[in-house]
Amino acid sequence: MTYELEIQIEELRAELRNAVDVAERLQIEAELEVAQAELAVAFAELVGLAEAEPPF
């Protein structure tokens, strides 16, 4: 899962470099931020810093 997120992040960065329209840039930046947050969560779960399920 983390590999796919890393690929997605790199693709979004490439799109951001090529974006001309302000609205498009904002959309890509938002998607990039979400993907980076998802990667951080996935990495934390892998190293045991976060639990996959909420505590009861």
The residues spanned by each domain of the chain are: 2-46
pLDDT at site 1: 73
45-51 contacts, C-beta under 8 A, 24 or more apart: 46/2
Count CB atoms within 10 A of the CB of residue 4.
12
Residue 48 confidence (pLDDT) above 90: no
Report the interhelical angle of 22-46 vs 2-18 (nearest 10°): 160
Report pLDDT digits (tens) over 9-29: 999 999 999 999 999 999 999
